Amino acid sequence: MSRTRTALLAALALVAGASGTALAVAPGDAGIAAVPCTVDYKVQNQWDTGFTAAVTITNNTTAKSSWSLKWAYAGNQKVTSGWNAKISQSGTAVTAANESYNGTLATGGSVSFGFQGSYSGTNAVPATFTLDGVTCNVDGGGPTDPGPTDPGTPGTRVDNPYAGAKVYVNPEWSANAAAEPGGSRVSNQPTGVWLDRIAAINGTGGKMGLRAHLDEALKQKGSGELVVQLVIYDLPGRDCSALASNGELGPTEIDKYKTQYIDPIAAILADPKYASLRIVNTVELDSLPNLVTNVTPRATATANCDTMKANGNYTKGVGYALNKLGDAPNVYNYVDAGHHGWLGWDDNFSATVQTIKQAATAEGATLNDVQGFITNTANYSALKEQNFTINDSVNGKSVRESKWVDWNRYVDELSYAQAFRQEAVNQGFPAGVGMLIDTSRNGWGGSARPTGPGAMTDVDTYVNGGKLDRRIHVGNWCNQSGAGLGERPKASPAAGIDAYVWIKPPGESDGASSAVPNDEGKGFDRMCDPTYTGNPRNNNNMSGAMPNAPLSGHWFSAQFQELMKNAYPAL
């Protein structure tokens, strides 16, 4: 990071903008030692008389065994309850001190807490914070310091990048969608731009490269805010449990991943030309969860996943990507968190957060390089099962005992994503992290959509008769027959959720239904074969895949028509 941008961020940290966020300088950047501490104060939810806030402190001086943070409100805000800190208030002055379990604050270390408050009139973010008597978010300034009164500076990081912003419409996907009969109904929707191999950075096969997309985004932006959604997806030994999404890099090619893939992307994103864009990276889908569920001694273990667990290159690669891509203040990293039908079980859930945390603190990355997590990417799990809950029972048997739920803690993506976010905060991620849910193909509408609960004959009849997700098994993931477009992209749709997104462009195949020679590193996965009878990961059920599918990422007209036909909400 340049000295100029460090000073700029330090000054901007004082701004109490309309977004309800006091911005912190990212730790670990050059010149940070001049800022003794940073405080990230975010108003997460606000209503007529109250609000909740999340606060993250980062200590850049000598390690502490205890800490006390103070601020004063300009209005009549009152703290009514809090968590992860002992909070007291006298008049407008507030003091938050450590609990017995979180007093240690190492040099470069962070701690987070939250609280609920009441107010009337305005709810301005405090302008000044002191940690143990030292003012945070301020350095010595200098000739490049623009001062603390410029809330409109391009590139200022906000709590939720989707709030108040348009989202980039990929013209290449839009053209494919519009060319389909009826496709103009959705061709203006924003979708992710997949950088799934090195050649995609500059563009290959006549397709737009990263700079071309960002240039087009500037045209679409106009005078407002605009989010560009990128998929960072080229780890060594990528997606070790599948074949259709294998990548170009071998298991040991971590240096190539860093220097030929991440570094060029980071250089483009850091170009001041693009500082006014909000760039959201969804980081390395599927790979880290594989280190939890598909390694020895699990029954679903694969030799490839054991190799990636042993060599550590998934962890190193994700850490390096978070560190390098997170340098730019207008970039937001969301790490893949699988989906409820993969990681919702007790022995997967917490372990996945631990694994992501390990990667998020590797290769120079810190937890502050993670703005959130994304679930259900390129998957089909229903957003919200409306006809049963995890707490229901039939004839004394819990829904968890049904064959479909199979002792999972969650029955849909919304409940899973909200719980995953809370678990991440519990394990030390900043309290302001948000969630994205990919709703591009989880609508499950059409004539086969259940209109109410199943019969109360037994727990399986009850669940199967009412479940919206009509896959044969929750482990099926390739080109699913009967799937439909889900909720349209939307900002702040539910508590803790930054946005519903279409990261997987509808109509782009998950994988070929038979072997197809190619130079993209993509293999043939039997889960994309409609005649396949399954494996332990889908409990040896039929794959549920559509026939005649092309290579992953290639346009699949039949799938797009299927998704439109079964859209929910309907088109």
Distance in angstroms (rounded) separating the CA atoms of residues 26 and 49: 32
**Pairing label, strands 93-97, 68-72:** antiparallel
Q: Which letter, b or e, does each residue of 541-551 get, where b requires 16 or more Cβ atoms within 10 Å of its Cβ?
A: bebbbbeebbb
Residue 327 near residue 270 (C-beta atoms within 8 A): yes
What separation in angstroms does the CA of 541 have from each of 241, 321, 483, 513, 514? Answer: 17, 36, 18, 16, 18
Q: Kind and range of the H or E element at 314?
A: helix 313-325
Catalytic residues: 286, 510
Q: How far is CA 294 from CA 51, 247, 307, 511, in A?
A: 42, 18, 11, 20
Contact criterion met (CB below 8 Å) for 57 and 131: yes
Q: Which two tokens stand for residue 101?
A: 């379990």
Look at residue 83 and give its three-state secondary structure: strand
CA distance 134 to 304: 51
Q: Name the nearest CA neighbour of 59 among 130, 125, 120, 5.
A: 130
- The tokens describing 221, both together, are 């932006």
Give the other-Cβ count within 10 Å of 570's Cβ.
13
C-alpha to C-alpha distance for 530 and 547, rounded to whole angstroms:
6
- 3-state helix, strand and coil shares in percent for the chain, rounded to the nearest 5: 25, 20, 55
Instruction: DSSP for 478-521, please give it.
Output: SSBTT----SPPEEEEETTEEEEE--S-TTB-SS-SS----SS-
Kindly report the length of the chain: 571
Evaluate whether 487 touches 439 at the Cβ level (below 8 Å): yes
Residues 6+ away with beta carbon under 8 Å from 133: none
- 561 secondary structure, DSSP code: H
User: Cα(first)–Cα(last) distance of the chain, in Å?
Assistant: 46
Do the beta carbons of residue 431 and residue 54 sit within 8 Å? yes
Distance CA 14, CA 23 (A): 7
Which DSSP symbol is given to 258? I
Q: Collapsing DSSP states into helix, strand and coil, what is residue 198?
A: coil
